Structure 1
Amino acid sequence: MNKHLIVLLAALFTQGAWAETHNVMAFLADPVAVLDEQGKQQRELPKKDTPSQPVPVLQYNKGLDLVQVELAGQKVWLDTMDLRIVPPLNIVELPCQGLTKSQTKDSRNASTIGFGAGCNQ
């Protein structure tokens, strides 16, 4: 009984047990480039041939910004720019106090300028 409890507690507190699962929710490019682990293009996959249901991300190569997924029984690498991944892999935090505010010369700019919802400025 104690051995089972120890194994269960160890599993609960390992990083893998709490890891967040990322899923490819949509394929944005047409065609989607299928790559090898070094980022070299192997072939192209038409968007109409991509799965319509979410596809789990198996691995993430942060250096090359590639994800490995399983498509049609094969493990392949895809460029994250061609995909919508939920939850996002890279979230950049900007310090609000370090961002420059609009100057007087910006008053004639017809575009929308803002820092985003997290900055209340």
Structure 2
Amino acid sequence: MNKISLFLISALFSQSLLASPIVDAFLADPVTVLDDQGRSQREVARNGLPKTLPVLQYNKELDLVQVELAGQKVWLDTMDVRVSPPLNVVKLPCQKLSSSQADDHQNNSTIGFGSGCSK
């Protein structure tokens, strides 16, 4: 009985951890560290950063995420990182938007709405 309840409690906590956004990739090298106003403070090499970081705050106006690096709370531009789950979800009915046209097969391109599109 104890093993089952321990498993259920750990599953409950793991689900709550999965719901919080994390930085799971750094797209720029070096990554620019910003202050809370979006001004550049310094640059950090991508290989010197951890593989994942929990997002502490999100500034929607400046499109910045706050993370903790080396015990210090800093801000990163969302263009330099990939956050999962996405912070901005497009409020469009994606399934009703126009998709690729029939002649797209000639130029081998596709049209997509991205992972942030609500479905």
TM-score normalised to structure 2 length: 0.67
Q: Are 1:112 and 2:109 an aligned pair? A: yes
Deviation digits for residues 50-108 of structure 1, max 9, x if unmatched? 112x21100000111100000000000000111111111112243333437737xx468
Moved over 6 A (4+): none
Is the Cα–Cα contact under 8 Å of residues 104 and 110 in structure 2 kept in the other structure?
A: no
Q: Structure 1: which 5+ runs fail to align?
A: 1-16
Kept in 1, the 8 Å contact 2:100–2:110? The answer is no
Q: Match of 1:72?
A: 70
Q: For 1:22-61, what aligned pairs fall within 5 Å after superposition?
A: 22-52=21-51, 54-61=52-59
Letter aligned with residue 66 of structure 1: L
Aligned to 2:84: 86
Task: Sort the Cα spacing of 1:30 and 1:113 in 2 relative to 1 into closer, same or farther, 3 A.
Answer: closer
Larger radius of gyration: 1
Q: Deviations over 1:21-59 (max 9, x none)?
A: 11111212100000000101011111121112x211000
Gaps of 5+ in 2: 1-15, 115-119
CA distance in 2, matches of 1:98, 1:87: 23
The alignment partner of 2:66 has SS state of strand
Q: Is the 8 A contact 2:99 2:111 kept in 1?
A: no
Corresponding letter in the other structure for 1:48: N
> How high is the sequence identity, in percent, across the aligned residues?
54
State the superposition RMSD in angstroms: 2.6
Structure 2 vs 1, CA of residues 116 and 88 (structure 1 numbering), >3 Å: closer, same or farther?
A: closer
Q: What is the aligned length?
A: 96
The alpha-carbon distance between structure 1 residues 112 and 80, as it changes in their structure 2 partners (threshold 3 A), is same
Q: Secondary structure at the match of 2:96?
A: helix
Q: Take 2:82 and 2:104, find their aligned partners in 1: how far apart are those partners?
A: 36
